[in-house]
Amino acid sequence: MDIDDILREVDPTSSGVPNETSDLQSLTRLWVAERSAPELLEWPSGGLFERINDRIKAQIEKIEILTGDMDPKTNFALIVIQTELERYKFLVRSYLRARIAKIDKHTLHYLSSEELRSRLSETELAYATRHQALLHNHYLSSFLSSFPTQLQNLNDTAGNVSMIDSPDLDAAVFIRMLRDRPVTGQGTDADITLNASNGEVLILRWSSAKSIVEDGDAELV
Amino acid sequence: MYGEQGIKLVQHAKRTLNLSHLPPYQTETVRAVTREVRDLDKDVTELLEPFQGSFNPSADQAVACTLLVNHLSMRRNKRCLLAYHRTRTDKLEELVWKGADVVDLSGQQVRGDPNAKDTPTSSLSPQEEDYVRQYSDLLAAYKGQWTDIDLTGSLEPPRDLFIDVRVLKDAGEIQTEYGAITLTRNSQFYVRQGDVERLIAQGYLQKLS
Amino acid sequence: MALPLPPGLVPSEVAFLCEMEHVTIVPRQRLESIELLSGATPSLRPPRRENIPLWLALLLKKQRRANILPPPWLHVDSLRDLIHHETVTDPTGWSLPPPPPVRADGRGNARRLNSDATTVLSPPFLPSCTSSAPAGALPYHWFEFAEMLLAHASDDVPSASDVRSLLRDLQEVRAAKMRTSIAGLESGVDGVMSLLGVGAMELSESRGFVTGVVEGVRKLGASAEASRREEEEERGGADDDEPSDDDMGI
C-alpha cells in the first residue's frame, strides 16, 4: 500500500514482497486494455485470476466474521474493507463482461483457429462453444433446417464474402509508452515513424500498435 | 419479386434495434422467405437437370446467368433471415443479462391484436422461448464460476457505498449489516447506501451532500 | 449484450481509475493497519504522513480522520507556471507529464525506476499525486484528481478558490488545443500522432470524436491507401524501409 512497497515490488534486487500490489496493477491494466482494444486480448496466464478469486473469497469470509462486532474501531475497518471489495469486484466484473461482449459479437471468429481459441479462458471457451451451438440450433429450428443442405452452414465464404464477421483490427486506439522507442504507424497518406518517449500518449491503428503493446513497451489507455 | 420479403425482415430487425421491448415474431414473413429459398433451389435443380451434371457455363451463358441470380437470391435471403434472428436473440440475451426469464419475456402480449383476448400471444416464437431457456441456463453456468463477483451486477464504478444520512422522521429500529440502528429524528448516521435506499425514497431519511 | 458501453473508458471509469492514485495524508486519528485485497494499509499515527490511495484518503477525510496534502503541482504558483507554459512558452503543445520516476539505488546513483524492471509501473500506480510529486508538471489524472480533491477536501487546498479558477483557465487553454489537434486530423492522418501530455479525462471526453474522425478518414482513403501500398510494394520489394519492431525494441 505504501509507495515504498510499490518501489520494492519493481526492484528486482529485493524479493519476498507480497504480490497484492502488482496483481492490482495487472488487473487494472488488463481491464483498461480490454475496454479499449477492438479485439479480444489474451486471457492472462500465471494464475492471476485464481489468486484474485481466492483473495476475494477470503475477504468476504473476513467481513462475515467482522460483522456483528460493534466496536466502532473495527467498524471503520469494515467500511474500508467493504469499499475496497466493491471496487475490486467491479474491476473483475467489468473486465469479464467486456470479454464476453466481444466473444458474443464474433463467436465464430474466436472459435475459428487454435491461436484465437487460446486467448479464451477455459470457461469462456466452454461458454462460447455452447453459445454458438445454441444459436445454430435456434437458426436450424427456426428456418435453416428447411433449407437445401448445401445452404445450412454458418461459415460460407462464397462470393468472397465470409459469413464469419471479425473485429476491425485497423480501428484507432490510444496507447501510452512504457519505454522510449520508435513507433511506426500505418496511415492513409503515409506510414511514419516517430521516436516516442516513456509516458507519451499516441493515437494509431491497433494493427500498428499491437506488437508494441504485446512486447510490453506500451499499454492501451 | 424475389428478395422483397427478405428486406421486410431486415427492416423489422433495424426497427427492433431501437426498441426497448421485443416486437412480435414475424412468423408469416419468415415462412415466406424460407419458402422462396426452397422454390429457388427447386428452380436450380430443374434448370440443371437436362445437363446431367455436365453443365458448362461459358457454353450456355443464359442459363448460367439465371443460376447465378438464383444462387445470389438464396444467399441473400439466408443473410436476411440470419440478421433478423440474430438481432432478436441479441435482444433476448440482453434482457436475460438484465435478469428477465422466459416467463417475463413470453408474457409480453401483443397489443391491439383482437385475437389476443383469451389466448395471450407471446411476441416470442416457440423456438425463441426455447432459446431463452437454454441461454439462461448457459449464463447461470458461466456466472456460477464467478459467484463472488456477481457478474450481472452494476457496470457503473462503485461510488459512495457508505453515505451520511439525517433522520427526518422517526422510523424506529432498522437492521443493518452492523446490527440494529434506532432512527430518531435529527440524528445522523453513516450507513451502507443499500441498507437505507428504501427509507430515503420513503422520506424517512435524507442523504447528506 | 454483456457490456453496453463504447470502447475506451467512459468518464466515470476514468474517475474510478484516478481514485487509485496515491496521495499523501496527515492522519488526525490513529488507525491500525487494515489487510486489504491490494495489500495492507499503513498504520496511521498522527501526525506521521502516509501515502494511500485516493479513495481511502477521501473516506478518511469524510470521517475527519485525516487531512489530505495536495500535490505540489496543484498549488497556485505551479498552476500559474503551467498556464504560462501552455499559453506563452509553448502555445501549441501540452505541458509535459512528470518525468519518469527516478530513485537512488544502494550505491547512491539515481536511476530510472522502470528501466530494467519486469513490471513497468504507470499511472495511477506512479507517485504523481503525492506530496513528493514535482511541481509544474501535470500528471495523467490531473483534471479528475483536482476535481475530486476540491469537491471533497477543499479545506485542505490552500487558496482553494484561486486554484479552482486557475484550473478552469488551464482546462480551457488545453481544450482549445485538443480542438486544434482534431481539426488537424481532418485534413489527413499520418500513421501515428502524438498527444504528449494529454490527460485521462481529456482523452475520454474526446475519444469518440477523435476515433470517429480517424476512422472516417481511413475509410474514405482506403482505396488510395491500398494503391499506394501496391506501388510501394512494386518499388520496394525486399528493400523494406520500415524499421522492424523487433530490431528497434529495447
CATH number at residue C65: 1.20.58.1020
What domain range includes position A199? Answer: 168-221
Which residues 6+ apart lie within 8 Å of B173 measured at CB?
B180, B181, B182, B183
Residues of chain B neighbouring C53 (CB-CB closer than 8 A): none
Residue at A205 is within a domain = yes
Residue at C182 is within a domain = yes
Which residues 6+ apart lie within 8 Å of C129 measured at CB?
C21, C22, C23, C54, C71, C139, C141, C145
Q: Rounded to the nearest 10 degrees, what angle do helices B61-97 and B126-144 cross at? A: 50
Residues C59, A22: C-beta atoms closer than 8 Å: no
Buried b (16+ CB within 10 A) or exposed e, A11-29: beeeeebeebbbbbbbbbb
Residues B85, A139: C-beta atoms closer than 8 Å: yes
> Which chain B residue shows the shortest CA-CA distance from A92?
B149
Tally of structural domains, chain C: 1
Query: Which CATH number do you get for residue A209?
Result: 3.40.5.60
Residue at C237 is within a domain = no
My answer on whether A179 and A85 are in the same domain is no
Cα(C55)–Cα(A84) distance, integer angstroms: 9
Residue contacts between A and B (CB atoms, under 8 Å): 113
B127-180 residue pLDDT tens:
999 999 999 999 999 999 998 988 988 899 998 888 888 999 888 887 766 667
Distance from the Cα of C98 to chain A's closest Cα (Å) equals 9
> Which chain B residue shows the shortest CA-CA distance from A61?
B148
Structural contact between residues C43 and C32, judged by C-beta atoms closer than 8 angstroms: yes
Residues C1, B156: C-beta atoms closer than 8 Å: no
Does A83 contact B at CB distance below 8 Å? yes
Residue at A159 is within a domain = yes
- B37 pLDDT exceeds 50? yes
Residues B82, A139: C-beta atoms closer than 8 Å: yes
Cα(C78)–Cα(C129) distance, integer angstroms: 14
Residue at C228 is within a domain = no
What domain range includes position C208? Answer: 11-100+118-216
- For residue A56 the three cell numbers come to 476475494
Buried b (16+ CB within 10 A) or exposed e, A189-205: eebeebebbbbbbbbbb
Residues C15, B97: C-beta atoms closer than 8 Å: no
Q: Hey, which residues 6-25 in chain C have their CB within 8 Å of chain B? A: 12-13, 15-16
- For residue A112 the three cell numbers come to 475459428
Residues A1, C53: C-beta atoms closer than 8 Å: yes
Can you tell me which residue has the cell 411476441?
B123
H-run or E-run covering C232? helix C222-236
Cα(B42)–Cα(B14) distance, integer angstroms: 31
- A99 pLDDT exceeds 50? yes
pTM for the model stands at 0.87
My answer on whether A184 and A75 are in the same domain is no
Query: Which CATH number do you get for residue A141?
Result: 1.20.58.1030
Residue at C198 is within a domain = yes
Looking at residues C101-116, what average pLDDT do you find? 51
C47-100 residue pLDDT tens:
999 999 999 999 999 989 999 999 999 999 999 999 999 999 988 888 888 887
Residues of chain A neighbouring B102 (CB-CB closer than 8 A): none
Cβ-based neighbour number of residue C35 at 10 Å:
15
My answer on whether A124 and A187 are in the same domain is no
My answer on whether A150 and A214 are in the same domain is no
Residue at A207 is within a domain = yes
My answer on whether A108 and A186 are in the same domain is no
pLDDT of A15: 38
How many residues are given for chain C? 250
Work out the burial of residue B32: count CB atoms within 10 Å of its CB; fewer than 13 is exposed, 13-18 middle, 19 or more buried. middle
Task: Decide: helix, strand or coil at residue B184.
Answer: coil
Query: By mean pLDDT, which of A101-105, C57-61, C179-183 is the weakest?
Result: C179-183
- For residue A121 the three cell numbers come to 479462458
Cα(B72)–Cα(B60) distance, integer angstroms: 19
pLDDT of B22: 87
Residues B190, C63: C-beta atoms closer than 8 Å: yes
Residue at C178 is within a domain = yes
Tally of structural domains, chain A: 2
My answer on whether A175 and A138 are in the same domain is no
